[in-house]
Amino acid sequence: MDPATTTPAHARSSEILTSIRSTFAAKGFEGTSMNDLARAAGMSVGNFYRYFPSKTAIVEALVAQDVEEVREQFQLVLAAPDKMAALRIGIAQHLEETGPDDCRLAAEISATALRQSEISSACQRMEETVRDMLIEVFSAHSGLSPGVCRDRYTSHARFIVLVLRGYGQRSDLTPDLMLTDLIQRSIDQILDDIPDTLSDG
């Protein structure tokens, strides 16, 4: 683990980000003031600015926090005896646990990325991280080298990223188990293309 992520300041920043997610999701980037966010975090505005000097810095930190969580989740997948089964389970849990606030916040961050290059770059890094971690799982599962998997299965990884991103930014938040099942089955079909032994490749 990166020592920088274990410091008290990092831990406090993570707590603040968790406490303000719902406020940002409800009011949006433009509609949320620093006062609103400080209040949601239970802090004075002055103290809040010590951690996050701007709303742009907050959004970048939110994306970075998500990247950190994604890395941790993929490490669990890579440590599992059956890595592909663990990946499928992880994706299913992600679909099940993505709630309205998550969707609103993801949509807001995506809209902000269209206007601000810093946010756009952070979102791109997020997608690249998920793509690269998927390639790592494909390599560990198949026995093929990461380079070969990158050549053969980058489009597979990008498809999964795009589908999950679209689901995470949907505006219709009505529960739809059939939609979730269709997404899971589509991703499962993509994962079925990844061989489970070198001899299968």
Helices marked H in 98-145 — which ranges? 100-115, 117-142
> What's the CA gap between 26 and 14, in Å, rounded?
19
**CATH code for the structural domain at 56-200:** 1.10.357
Q: How far apart, in Å, are the Cα atoms of 21 and each of 15, 17, 29, 36, 70?
A: 10, 6, 11, 11, 17
Q: Would you kindly state where each structural domain of the chain is located, as residue ranges?
A: 56-200
The pTM for the full model equals 0.87
Reading the chain (201 residues) residue by residue, the pLDDT tens digits are 455 555 777 888 989 999 999 888 888 888 899 999 999 999 999 999 999 999 889 999 999 999 999 999 999 999 999 999 999 999 999 999 999 999 999 998 998 898 889 899 999 999 999 999 999 999 999 999 999 999 999 999 999 999 999 999 998 999 899 999 999 999 999 999 999 865 444
